[in-house]
Structure 1
Amino acid sequence: MGVNAPGGHQAPRLGMILKGYPRISESFISQEIALLESRGLPIEIYSLRRPRESFTHESVRRIRAPVTYVPEYVLPHLPAVMVPNLRLWASLGVRYVRSFRDAACRAVDRRTTATLRHFLQGGYLAYHRVMGRPVRHLHAHFCHTPTSVAFFASQLTGVPYSFTAHAKDIYTSDPEQLRRKMRRASFVVTCTAYNARYLRSLLDAGGATGVQHRTFVAIHTIYHGIDLHFFAYGTAPLPAPPFRVLSVGRLVPKKGYDDLLQALKILETWGVDFHFDHIGSGENKDTIRDLARRLGLWPRVTFHGTLPHEKVIDFYRRSHVFVLACKTAPNGDRDGIPNVLVEAMAVGVPVVSTRHSAIPELVQDGVTGTLVPPASPLALAGAIKNVLEAGTSLESQRRAARRTVETHFDSERCIGHLEALLRKAVGIP
């Protein structure tokens, strides 16, 4: 069943539902769980996917929460999924039937079997980890699949739920389904004011849809913080060409790596001597690497793949500029505030990014970094060139960036608001 038993402790507990655990690209979640645990909040982790990387961040090693791996798909694990659901049906009777009927109707309306899979996963979780146990509240990370599972587990057990909405999960979700989840939730957390405005606009546009839904839902903006002790201020790149240009991010359309490579080619034609380091992987890996070859940039580019924080920080410290060319993907996917921008600013690397989504909530153009329009390689190239030529004259900007992170993105400060919400929900003083 994939369960590390929590023992006989009967104190109220929080059930945390995740898409996958641990995930190297979601260090902010493991950091959050580690901090909540360190403050005495009892947590159980319910993961809908087993880890796909062979290594992880240091923060994961500090986590002591028991982990349950819910079967990711139904057919390969049919007995394991169906037996607890049948037992739950026998135990709950009409309540189970009504919830299943609701899920089936939604599956027909949306022409997808995913809704039924989420319902059965919710039933699996309800039977094995919630019913008759001291789990008093469920909290899901990401408003798509994990919150769908939380929705059904809550519907079956009566245990309330909340969720944190991030970026892609918000903007690629069906608005009506997202409204439905928000209205049933105890509260909603999101990581940028930009996201919060969008979520509130969905609720306002939807109006009231029945007495079973609350017309007001609290939406809390809580930034993802970082560990300022780990990301200590200080860089030491060699004060001469070739300049080190760094970017960390998944190779997906919304990150704009096609625009960044075009910008780097422009830099080369201007006679700028540089080397580009990229850290990360993603579905567009082959496409982006092929583009680097076609542009003749291959000798100037190194793709390092996915690395843990303990190795990434060395790249921050020896880089002259950090660049992230975010934009809206064709499917509507977009970033919120990428954590890597916060990390670079904390360490003191001058940042160049785009005036896109919630990035201006972090980067103030000309004060804490440089912003250009999205999908503008020429403007991006000019901004990178200006930073590289500015050299040590950017010291005041670098220190202003660090102060911004210390004020608004210190994980120790950011976690306090979330801790208070979850303690109240679980019933722990």
Structure 2
Amino acid sequence: MELKRVVVTGLGALTPIGNNLEEYWNALLAGKSGAAPIQQFDASKFKTQFACEIKDFNVTDYIDRKEARKLDRFSQYAMVSASEAMADSNLMESSPNVERIGVIWGSGIGGLKSLEDEHTNFLNGDGTPKFNPFFIPKMIADIAAGHISIKYGLRGPNYVTVSACASSTNAIIDAFNLIRLGKADAIVTGGSEAAVTVMGVGGFNGLRALSMRNDSPETASRPFDKDRDGFVLGEGAGALILEDYDHAVKRGAKIYAEVAGGGMSSDAYHITAPHPDGIGARNVMIEALKDAELKPEDVDYVNVHGTSTPLGDIAETKAIKQVFGENAYDLNISSTKSMTGHLLGAAGAIEAIASILSVKNDIVPPTINHFTDDPEIDDKLNFTFNEAQKREVNVALSNTFGFGGHNTSAIFKKLKQ
């Protein structure tokens, strides 16, 4: 069967550096850091006392107060970003067949704060189990997709992908595959996460995964820098409307870019550490290029996973050199996590958006906070350090990797009629 072409017709973002798509993109190009001391709880006794939190966000500006109380923050974030993407796409104004529109969402953890709150309330009580009737529906990771589908009456495929930090890129790839197989006309996809909580920060501190640069939060996320000491936890959401190209053209939709292909692989190595030789990362990029029917030299920009961890940045760099060979030196490479922090299951969504906007606008956002070259990382590669760079971007590849060895790559390209 002939596969259908898939395009991006709507985008929405709620991030630590901008509460909508325009704010997010402008902040990326300006090299703005979203890291600051934690406001959501008293972190004074934690090893890490800062994060990339959503700022100036009042959920009742977007969602009725009564309804908002039924939603964990990760679902609130999902609803806000999806609403922006749906409005951007104008999809529902085109009298679509809702039986053929789905929602495939990603979240690595789901309603962590709701779980914390209910457990704390129980421990502080007299032992009588008095749990909120919305506790389970607030906590479960799939509920964000459910709420989005209910709001718009979408009756197509509906589920969540959970693959740690690769979750939302998995969701995007699944959405892409279902549309090109003719199973849906359009799908709302992306991911959300709200893990800046006592358990979230404490748990990642226990893993020694977070930066502890409490004296300078805004410079703590330092991908590819010699003095990087861990990632900065972030929160938020990103939403994309993927659509069958013919369906989009028929209704006169605005098109940002074409989804060219996607790859998935496993390190099969360790529960948290990447394979030191970057084997899984190498394989997933090769798979994505094969799926997109592109050659390494066709790629202009790689939005890397680039978490600012000592092992991860080295492994990913090795993988890029293995896949792209001499063409690696012609690429622009950047880690937008240097600005947003690591949004865990939502990382792939907001980084896909950054990649798509790079294709649309021919400019690459920077990797900020580079101070010292790492002798273990090839300094001849162009990591787009500290300032955005204009260049023609016809093809962008976005990497997202997760604990457990889950690897995903998605490729976006300029639309050619």
Kindly indicate which of the two structures has a greater share of residues assigned to helix.
1
Q: Looking at CA atoms only, which structure, 1 or 2, has the larger radius of gyration?
A: 1
Q: Which has the higher contact order (CA 8 A, sep 6+)?
A: 2
Q: Structure 1 length as normaliser, TM-score?
A: 0.28
Kindly indicate which of the two structures has a greater share of residues assigned to strand.
2
